[in-house]
Amino acid sequence: MSSDGFARLTADEAAALIPDNAFVAFSGFTPAGAAKAVPRALAERAERAHAAGDPMRFRVLAGASTGDDVDERLAQAEAIAWRAPYQSSRTLRKQINAQQAEFVELHLSNVGQMMAFGFLPRPDVAVVEATDVTRDGRVYLSTSSGVTPTVLKHADRVVIELNRRHTPRLAEMHDVAILPTPPHRSPIPIHNPLDRIGTPFIAVDPDRIVGVVETDEADGLAPAAPMNEVSERIAGHIVEFLLAELRAGRIPPQFLPLQAGVGNVANAVLSGLGSHPDVPPFSMYTEVFQDSQVELMRSGKLLGASTSALALSDGLMDEVCGDVDFFGERIVMRPTEFSNNPGVIRRLGVIAINTVLEMDLVGCANSTHVCGTQVMNGIGGSGDFVRNSFLSILVSPSTAKNGAISAVVPLCSHVDHNEHSVQVLVTEQGLADLRGLGSIERSRVIAERCAHPSYRPYLLEYLESAPKGHIRQHLDRAFELHRNLVEHGSMLPEVASGV
């Protein structure tokens, strides 16, 4: 026993407490704040069991994607039978698409409620990274919140990974609350991105904490991918568009909070907004606080950020943790029930920027499935923001695989965001503002402004020759580009026809 009153366990001892087929919930939202030592030990235990003829597997839940120590390592050990609500592991993705593992993708804002009502199982064991735990059961989370507070509320048993790498002062950024279940909900009193409504810790019955595993490990996020010409051109279109909206009075003079997904396009947009003298200082109401936002905050252009995770490369994480006097009052970390809450997103008037795989002439978008069948990562939080933002912008390079794939197609092979929610589509070719456009005008604008020149003539011909209707589609040709890709390795019509 230590001063906090909990038994100290090795990672192997903690892993031994998790039975076969257990429902295991891990902390983490991206690699930020993800459990590390125990899932590695659990993977090794599963491999030993498999070698002995025991098909040991587990059902796994985390706030979103996690670090390699959870999804990738457990998938390599063939130890994941079921996963929710989001993942980004290469090995697990292959297993899901081969139907070797079940995958339940969910809007991130819904996960806590689904667990509270029993649509998701009550975790048998929760493995949670923290910077501190007290004798009376106060758990201080590390670099993310995600769904961890709800998991700690409902788990039968809890293992704490006490990570000495992260400063306990991260508690100054956490704002932990749990939504009551309907019909006992009052309006969430968040009227500004930095409003706080909870406590810096989550209280857990100490009798459910079975032990503490001490670690000293960084989250292991690599620096953000450098911006390229395509991402910079996309960012340029978005910055120009937002400035025009600001000058026209459709964005208020103090600007509106931003949300940006993960990746180099989001970083390019934020960099462009941050460096433009006509853009006023702004705030963010988002899911992840990324590398590009550290310098923006240092410069005074980013006034503050509400997030669910500090998804920072290790060097910048050390910088933020080493200067909590500056960052602590400018960053609020919330559970996804609040960071992704539809009502709060609408109240604040968030401008959202998210990436998609493909967009169609109807105005729908696909974030998740290649050719409608092969999942990439999952919908994550994009749907929470696309449907509820004041202004929703969806972006994609116009082509992929050296031009073999067009991001603009007649009909999406899978729809995550329908035309009633999609407002603005952007590729490096241009920007299509779809607000107020009828279906045919919308289709032409998407083809003319977003499609790559290699595909634009095909798409315009497809539209003009389609039978008339409120929405024009050839039922026999709607997935012709996708069939070309599957059968010939390229969507390009001339490749498919042998020209």
Each residue of 152-175: pLDDT tens digit? 999 999 999 999 999 999 999 999
Contact 396, 429 (CB under 8 A): no
Q: Give the mean pLDDT of 370-396.
A: 95
- Token pair, residue 254, equals 């103090």
Q: How confident is the model at residue 269 (pLDDT cuts 50, 70, 90)?
A: confident
Task: Give CA–CA dist 389/342, Å, rounded.
Answer: 8
Task: Give CA–CA dist 476/397, Å, rounded.
Answer: 27
Residue 262 has pLDDT above 90, yes or no: no
Angle between helices 439-450 and 456-465 (to 10 degrees): 160
Q: How confident is the model at residue 497 (pLDDT cuts 50, 70, 90)?
A: low
Lowest-pLDDT choice from 98-107, 132-141, 160-169, 227-236: 227-236
- 129, 161, 287, 337: the catalytic one is 287
Task: Give CA–CA dist 44/74, Å, rounded.
Answer: 9
The amino acid occupying position 495 is: V
Instruction: Calculate the CA 268 to chain-centre distance.
Output: 18
Tell which wins on pLDDT, 398 or 181. Answer: 398
DSSP β-ladder status, 302-307 and 282-285: parallel
Task: Give CA–CA dist 304/348, Å, rounded.
Answer: 14
Stretch (H or E) spanning 251:
none
Residues 6+ apart with CB under 8 A from 53: none
Q: Give the mean pLDDT of 469-496.
A: 90
Residue 495 has pLDDT above 70, yes or no: no
DSSP state of 280: P
Residues 285-327: tens digit of each pLDDT: 999 999 999 999 999 999 999 999 999 999 999 999 999 999 9
Nearest partner of 405 among 378, 436, 374, judged by Cα: 374
Task: Give CA–CA dist 329/369, Å, rounded.
Answer: 39
Residue 446 has pLDDT above 90, yes or no: yes
Q: Give the mean pLDDT of 418-430.
A: 96
**Cis before 123 (ω within 30):** no
Give 418: exposed, middle or buried? Use CB within 10 Å, 0-12, 13-18, 19+: middle
- Token pair, residue 470, equals 């409120």
In the prediction, which pLDDT does 364 show?
A: 97
Residue 498 has pLDDT above 70, yes or no: no
Q: Give the mean pLDDT of 418-424.
A: 96
In the prediction, which pLDDT does 226 show?
A: 79
Q: Give the mean pLDDT of 438-462.
A: 97
Nearest partner of 67 among 27, 95, 94, 99, judged by Cα: 27
Q: Give the mean pLDDT of 27-40.
A: 97
Q: Give the mean pLDDT of 128-153.
A: 97
Contact 307, 286 (CB under 8 A): yes
Q: Give the mean pLDDT of 458-474.
A: 95
Residue 405 has pLDDT above 80, yes or no: yes
Task: Give CA–CA dist 317/131, Å, rounded.
Answer: 14
DSSP β-ladder status, 58-61 and 138-141: unpaired
Task: Give CA–CA dist 175/195, Å, rounded.
Answer: 9
Contact 257, 195 (CB under 8 A): no
- Residue 97's CB is within 10 A of a number of other CB atoms, namely 16
The amino acid occupying position 51 is: A
DSSP state of 349: T
In the prediction, which pLDDT does 499 show?
A: 47
Task: Give CA–CA dist 125/123, Å, rounded.
Answer: 5
Contact 206, 135 (CB under 8 A): yes
287 assigned to active site: yes
Residues in the chain: 499
Task: Give CA–CA dist 262/288, Å, rounded.
Answer: 7
DSSP β-ladder status, 408-409 and 374-375: unpaired
Residue 66 has pLDDT above 50, yes or no: yes
- Residue 485's CB is within 10 A of a number of other CB atoms, namely 23
Beta-ladder partners of 304? 283
Task: Give CA–CA dist 190/146, Å, rounded.
Answer: 18
Residue 46 has pLDDT above 70, yes or no: yes
Q: Give the mean pLDDT of 239-253.
A: 95
CA atoms lying within 13 Å on the CB side of residue 308: 33
DSSP state of 413: S
- Token pair, residue 166, equals 């992260």
Contact 112, 337 (CB under 8 A): yes
In the prediction, which pLDDT does 1 show?
A: 56
Task: Give CA–CA dist 499/492, Å, rounded.
Answer: 10
Residue 379 has pLDDT above 80, yes or no: yes
The amino acid occupying position 279 is: V
